[in-house]
Copies of this chain bind each other. A is one copy, B any other.
Amino acid sequence: MTTLHGMLHRLPEADAAATAAVRERAAHILRPSGALAWLDELAEWVAGWQRTDRPRVEHPVGLIFAGDHGVAEAEAVSAYPTTVTEAMFEAYRQGRSTISAFARHAGARVDAVDVGIGRPTGDIRYEAALPVERFEEIVEIAVAAVDRLDADLLVLGEMGIGNTTPAAAVAAALAGGETAAWVGRGTGIDDTGLARKQAAVQQSVRRIAGITDPIEVLREVGGAELAAIAAATMAARQRSLPVVLDGYVVTSSVLPLVMVEPTALDHCIVGHCSAEAGHRRLLERLGKRPLLDLDMRLGEGTGAMAAVPLVAMACAGITEVPTFAEWFG
């Protein structure tokens, strides 16, 4: 059985030779040395995980996990009813959603995986989001979803009405500080709703006060798509596939991984900083600089997908451009 802990104890490292080869080539490309700055570093990073001195982004894939949340069914923590999760999922399937439109302009495919639509998690205020067997099942589904991809760059996204509530609970439980500071307006809830949401997160975090295993925290106060994202991130690592992380929910989902093993997210970059309260602090906590900072707060992987062309260009700047010697030689 593939488990999160199992994958976390078997973390392949990047190919240092490929990284070094790209760093060397970058210094001699037909442009002033260092002029692409961070983009050259991105190309080195892709090379290390793709294990090649000619990094490319030709087959990026967006993988979106969707699920429903007991706390959202029981308490109005979102501006939308939970039935919207299924409607949005159908829009992904038919290529009509915002992430589908973004993907077309990034040359990417989108694959959406149902990990719990219409099958809500436990209400995290009172009980575990996911029983152990269900959590394990979701991990297996997510790993299989990554395993069947033909991709050279993976974007991870999520959809689930109410899922910034479990995201905030995971962040608050693991990163600490004042709980309310991790709770934002999500899809755009009003002040009364925000107070309800803060109370729900506080109650959930208090409920699991004794739990120290970060993966258990994810199972207790996370959700189906959050667990799937953590598992998909680790599955990508096993395959040495570089990952672009999206906004607050995705970042909260992978936080437990890095708290078990500090190098667990070395194969991940962050596509954007979301406008959702807490995301910037979470990124500082992870030591990750977002490529984009555009005030977006949609989810669906859109902020990560928006950054994909930058990663593709960074690689093309190494792989498709000659060195001075190749050009003049």
* Residues of chain A at the chain B interface (Cβ within 8 Å): 29-39, 57, 79-80, 87-88, 91, 96-98, 100-102, 104-107, 186-188, 275, 291-300, 302, 305-306, 309-310, 312-313, 316-317, 320-322, 327-328
Contacts and interface: CB of A to CB of B under 8 A. Distances in A.
Contacts of A105: 57, 107, 309, 312-313, 316
A248 to B, nearest CB: 12
A150 B55 CA distance: 32
Contacts of A306: 39, 309-310, 313
Contacts of A31: 97-98, 298, 300
A98 B36 contact: yes
Copies in the assembly, this chain: 2
Contact of A98 (B30, B104, B302, B310): B30
B320 A37 contact: no
A101 B313 contact: yes
Given A102-B317, A293-B293, A97 B39 contact: no
A185 B131 CA distance: 59
Given A312-B105, A316-B101, A317-B102, A298 B88 contact: no
5 contacts: A30-B98, A37-B296, A37-B297, A100-B321, A101-B317
Chain A contact residues, majority secondary structure: loop
Given A105-B107, A309-B106, A312-B105, A35 B297 contact: yes
A100 B309 CA distance: 14
Contacts of A107: 105
A292 B305 CA distance: 15
Given A101-B321, A296-B39, A321-B97, A33 B188 contact: yes
B101 A320 contact: yes
* Minimum-distance CB pairs A-B, first 9: A309-B309, A37-B295, A32-B187, A35-B298, A101-B316, A101-B320, A105-B312, A102-B313, A105-B313
Contact of A80 (B32, B188, B298): B32
Contacts of A91: 30, 322, 327
A286 to B, nearest CB: 19
Nearest to A299: B35
A328 B35 CA distance: 49
A78 B29 CA distance: 18
A88 B186 CA distance: 48
A105 B317 CA distance: 11
A295 to B, nearest CB: 4
A3 B104 CA distance: 40
A102 to B, nearest CB: 5
Given A30-B88, A98-B29, A328-B87, A104 B35 contact: no
A316 B187 contact: no
